[in-house]
Amino acid sequence: MPDIHPPFLDEIDRQLIAALQINARESVAMLARQMGIARTTVTSRLARLEKANVITGYGVRLGQRVVDGGLQAYVGITVQPRSGKEVLRRLGAMAQVQQLCAVSGEFDYVAWLRTDSPEQLDQLLDQIGSVDGVEKTTTSIILSSKIDRGQPV
Protein backbone atom coordinates (compact mmCIF):
# COMPACT_ATOMS: atom_id res chain seq x y z
CA MET A 1 0.00 0.00 0.00
CA PRO A 2 1.51 3.37 -1.01
CA ASP A 3 2.35 5.94 1.64
CA ILE A 4 -0.35 8.64 1.48
CA HIS A 5 1.38 10.98 3.92
CA PRO A 6 3.52 13.73 2.39
CA PRO A 7 7.19 13.47 3.33
CA PHE A 8 8.51 15.81 6.00
CA LEU A 9 10.53 18.66 4.52
CA ASP A 10 12.86 20.56 6.80
CA GLU A 11 14.41 23.96 6.10
CA ILE A 12 17.43 22.48 4.29
CA ASP A 13 15.12 20.48 1.99
CA ARG A 14 13.11 23.62 1.25
CA GLN A 15 16.24 25.70 0.54
CA LEU A 16 17.61 22.98 -1.73
CA ILE A 17 14.34 22.73 -3.68
CA ALA A 18 14.11 26.53 -3.95
CA ALA A 19 17.67 26.72 -5.30
CA LEU A 20 16.90 24.02 -7.87
CA GLN A 21 13.75 25.83 -8.94
CA ILE A 22 15.90 28.84 -9.75
CA ASN A 23 18.53 26.76 -11.58
CA ALA A 24 17.95 23.01 -11.89
CA ARG A 25 21.35 22.65 -13.56
CA GLU A 26 23.29 24.01 -10.57
CA SER A 27 26.14 21.71 -9.54
CA VAL A 28 26.07 19.86 -6.25
CA ALA A 29 29.28 21.67 -5.25
CA MET A 30 27.73 25.09 -5.90
CA LEU A 31 24.51 24.16 -4.07
CA ALA A 32 26.58 23.02 -1.09
CA ARG A 33 28.56 26.28 -1.12
CA GLN A 34 25.42 28.42 -1.39
CA MET A 35 23.74 26.59 1.46
CA GLY A 36 26.84 26.22 3.65
CA ILE A 37 26.56 22.43 3.89
CA ALA A 38 28.64 19.45 2.72
CA ARG A 39 28.36 18.12 -0.83
CA THR A 40 27.56 14.68 0.56
CA THR A 41 24.62 16.21 2.41
CA VAL A 42 23.30 17.76 -0.79
CA THR A 43 23.74 14.48 -2.67
CA SER A 44 21.98 12.42 0.00
CA ARG A 45 19.16 14.96 0.32
CA LEU A 46 18.60 14.96 -3.43
CA ALA A 47 18.53 11.16 -3.50
CA ARG A 48 16.01 11.09 -0.63
CA LEU A 49 13.80 13.76 -2.21
CA GLU A 50 13.84 11.91 -5.54
CA LYS A 51 13.10 8.55 -3.92
CA ALA A 52 10.16 10.08 -1.99
CA ASN A 53 8.83 11.63 -5.25
CA VAL A 54 9.17 15.13 -3.86
CA ILE A 55 11.40 15.84 -6.84
CA THR A 56 9.98 13.98 -9.81
CA GLY A 57 12.10 15.47 -12.55
CA TYR A 58 14.17 18.36 -13.78
CA GLY A 59 13.02 20.57 -16.60
CA VAL A 60 13.33 23.70 -18.62
CA ARG A 61 11.24 26.85 -18.29
CA LEU A 62 10.89 28.63 -21.59
CA GLY A 63 11.57 32.34 -21.86
CA GLN A 64 8.67 34.69 -22.49
CA ARG A 65 9.79 35.35 -26.08
CA VAL A 66 9.48 31.65 -26.90
CA VAL A 67 6.20 31.25 -25.03
CA ASP A 68 4.75 34.31 -26.74
CA GLY A 69 5.09 32.52 -30.09
CA GLY A 70 1.70 30.95 -29.40
CA LEU A 71 -1.43 31.61 -27.44
CA GLN A 72 -2.17 30.41 -23.92
CA ALA A 73 -5.46 30.42 -22.07
CA TYR A 74 -7.11 29.16 -18.91
CA VAL A 75 -10.52 27.59 -19.37
CA GLY A 76 -12.96 26.99 -16.54
CA ILE A 77 -15.04 23.90 -17.33
CA THR A 78 -18.37 22.92 -15.76
CA VAL A 79 -19.42 19.30 -16.29
CA GLN A 80 -22.65 17.39 -15.81
CA PRO A 81 -22.84 15.04 -12.81
CA ARG A 82 -21.19 11.62 -13.32
CA SER A 83 -19.55 12.63 -16.60
CA GLY A 84 -16.12 13.51 -15.21
CA LYS A 85 -14.36 10.31 -16.33
CA GLU A 86 -15.40 10.73 -19.96
CA VAL A 87 -14.51 14.43 -19.93
CA LEU A 88 -11.07 13.63 -18.47
CA ARG A 89 -10.50 10.92 -21.08
CA ARG A 90 -11.41 13.20 -23.98
CA LEU A 91 -9.45 16.22 -22.71
CA GLY A 92 -6.45 13.97 -22.01
CA ALA A 93 -6.36 13.12 -25.73
CA MET A 94 -6.05 16.81 -26.71
CA ALA A 95 -2.36 17.68 -27.01
CA GLN A 96 -3.00 21.41 -26.50
CA VAL A 97 -4.32 20.76 -22.97
CA GLN A 98 -1.12 21.36 -20.98
CA GLN A 99 -2.64 20.89 -17.53
CA LEU A 100 -6.06 20.02 -16.14
CA CYS A 101 -6.92 20.58 -12.48
CA ALA A 102 -10.01 19.65 -10.50
CA VAL A 103 -10.94 22.78 -8.53
CA SER A 104 -13.47 24.00 -6.01
CA GLY A 105 -15.72 26.94 -6.70
CA GLU A 106 -17.55 27.97 -9.84
CA PHE A 107 -15.96 25.34 -12.12
CA ASP A 108 -15.29 21.63 -11.84
CA TYR A 109 -12.01 21.83 -13.77
CA VAL A 110 -9.58 24.48 -14.96
CA ALA A 111 -7.50 23.67 -18.05
CA TRP A 112 -4.36 25.42 -19.21
CA LEU A 113 -4.28 25.44 -23.01
CA ARG A 114 -1.49 26.28 -25.44
CA THR A 115 -2.18 26.82 -29.15
CA ASP A 116 -0.40 28.35 -32.12
CA SER A 117 -3.05 30.89 -33.10
CA PRO A 118 -6.40 32.44 -32.15
CA GLU A 119 -8.03 30.29 -34.83
CA GLN A 120 -6.59 27.11 -33.31
CA LEU A 121 -7.78 28.22 -29.86
CA ASP A 122 -11.27 28.81 -31.26
CA GLN A 123 -11.32 25.30 -32.76
CA LEU A 124 -10.04 23.78 -29.53
CA LEU A 125 -12.71 25.56 -27.49
CA ASP A 126 -15.35 24.23 -29.90
CA GLN A 127 -13.92 20.72 -29.40
CA ILE A 128 -13.97 21.06 -25.62
CA GLY A 129 -17.50 22.47 -25.67
CA SER A 130 -18.72 19.54 -27.78
CA VAL A 131 -17.42 16.87 -25.37
CA ASP A 132 -20.35 14.90 -23.92
CA GLY A 133 -20.83 16.05 -20.35
CA VAL A 134 -19.34 19.56 -20.72
CA GLU A 135 -22.04 22.06 -19.77
CA LYS A 136 -20.13 25.33 -19.94
CA THR A 137 -16.67 26.80 -20.52
CA THR A 138 -15.28 30.20 -19.59
CA THR A 139 -12.02 31.27 -21.22
CA SER A 140 -9.36 33.75 -20.12
CA ILE A 141 -6.52 34.35 -22.57
CA ILE A 142 -3.12 34.91 -20.96
CA LEU A 143 -1.79 38.31 -22.03
CA SER A 144 1.56 38.12 -20.21
CA SER A 145 3.22 36.34 -17.33
CA LYS A 146 4.04 38.74 -14.50
CA ILE A 147 5.41 36.28 -11.92
CA ASP A 148 6.45 32.65 -12.46
CA ARG A 149 8.08 30.86 -9.58
CA GLY A 150 7.44 27.35 -10.82
CA GLN A 151 5.68 25.11 -8.35
CA PRO A 152 6.07 26.30 -4.75
CA VAL A 153 7.19 23.93 -2.02
Look at residue 10 in the predicted model and tell me its pLDDT: 92
Look at residue 1 in the predicted model and tell me its pLDDT: 46
What is the phi-psi region of residue 97: left when phi exceeds 0, alpha when psi lies from -120 to 50, beta otherwise? beta
- Give Cα separations from 121 to 85, 89, 133, 139 (angstroms): 23, 20, 20, 10
Looking at the domain 11-52, which fold is it? Arc Repressor Mutant, subunit A (1.10.10)
Look at residue 4 in the predicted model and tell me its pLDDT: 54
pLDDT in tens, 110-139: 999 999 889 999 999 999 999 999 999 999
Residues in the chain: 153
| Contact call for residues 106 and 76 (beta carbons, < 8 A) | yes
Instruction: For the chain, give every residue range classified as CATH 3.30.70.920.
Output: 64-142
Q: Which portions of the chain are predicted below pLDDT 70?
A: 1-6, 61-69, 149-153
Which strand (E) or helix (H) includes residue 34?
helix 28-35
Look at residue 8 in the predicted model and tell me its pLDDT: 85
Which SS3 state, helix, strand or coil, does residue 74 take? strand
The class that CATH gives domain 64-142 is alpha beta
